[in-house]
């Protein structure tokens, strides 16, 4: 069984979305460095921020769209942020929404099922995601100071 790294990427639906959510993306990228998920059947656990903006709307709020690499190298989960959410939430509220989506991704993986996903040690995954979220909150908090 592998030890997975956490990776973050993003698609911003416009400059407006990037301007508001980019600090969160940077904090998430930094927070993921050094966090591993033990006993994970993939090399990478990816989160993709899909942020609605003035040009493109992805239509997702929270965690969704689990993608399993055909080669079995990674599993990724989208974290959708609607324009209504990022425009009306404070930075702290947005951070809380992102954390909630990350934490609910565990249940999403359980619900998808499949032989490979059933081998995940969900208790270890939850511990790793909690540490990831703790680091993210510390980083986004220091970025706002």
The answer to the question of residue 63 being in a domain is: yes
| pLDDT per residue as tens digits for the range 96-118 | 999 999 999 999 999 987 778 88
Percent of the chain past pLDDT 70, that is, above it, reads 97
The answer to the question of residue 122 being in a domain is: yes
Q: Which two tokens stand for residue 57?
A: 């709307």
What is the pLDDT at residue 143? Answer: 60
What is the pLDDT at residue 106? Answer: 93
| pLDDT per residue as tens digits for the range 34-92 | 999 998 999 999 999 999 999 999 999 999 999 998 888 899 999 999 999 999 999 99
**CB neighbour list of residue 1: distance below 8 Å, 6 or more residues apart:** 39, 40, 41, 119
The answer to the question of residue 123 being in a domain is: yes
The answer to the question of residue 47 being in a domain is: yes
The answer to the question of residue 140 being in a domain is: no
Full-model pTM: 0.92
What is the pLDDT at residue 145? Answer: 46
- Residue 25: pLDDT band (50, 70, 90) is very high
What is the pLDDT at residue 117? Answer: 84
Q: First-to-last CA distance in the chain?
A: 41
Boundaries of domain holding 96: 2-135
Domain count, the chain: 1
Cα–Cα separations (whole angstroms), residue 142 to 28, 34, 55, 87, 139: 13, 19, 30, 21, 5
CA distance 78 to 101: 9
The answer to the question of residue 143 being in a domain is: no
For residue 106, give the nearest of 82, 75, 83, 60 by alpha carbon: 75
Worst-scoring range by mean pLDDT, 10-24, 106-120, 128-142?
A: 106-120
The answer to the question of residue 25 being in a domain is: yes
- Residue 1: pLDDT band (50, 70, 90) is low
The answer to the question of residue 14 being in a domain is: yes
**CB neighbour list of residue 23: distance below 8 Å, 6 or more residues apart:** 91, 140, 143, 144
What is the pLDDT at residue 66? Answer: 94
């Amino acid at each position: 069984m592998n030890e997975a790294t956490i990776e973050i990427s993003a698609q911003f639906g416009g400059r407006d979305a990037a301007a508001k959510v980019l600090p969160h993306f940077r904090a998430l990228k930094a927070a993921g460095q050094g966090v591993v998920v033990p006993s994970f059947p993939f090399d990478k656990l990816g989160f993709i921020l899909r942020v609605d903006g003035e040009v493109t709307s992805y239509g997702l709020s929270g965690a969704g769209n689990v993608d399993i690499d055909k080669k079995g190298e990674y599993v990724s989960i989208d974290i959708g942020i609607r324009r209504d959410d990022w425009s009306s939430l404070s930075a702290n509220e947005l951070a809380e929404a992102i954390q909630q989506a990350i934490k609910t991704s565990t249940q999403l993986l359980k619900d998808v099922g499949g032989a490979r996903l059933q081998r995940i040690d969900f208790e270890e995954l939850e511990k790793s995601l909690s540490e990831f979220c703790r680091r993210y909150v510390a980083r986004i908090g220091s970025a706002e100071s």
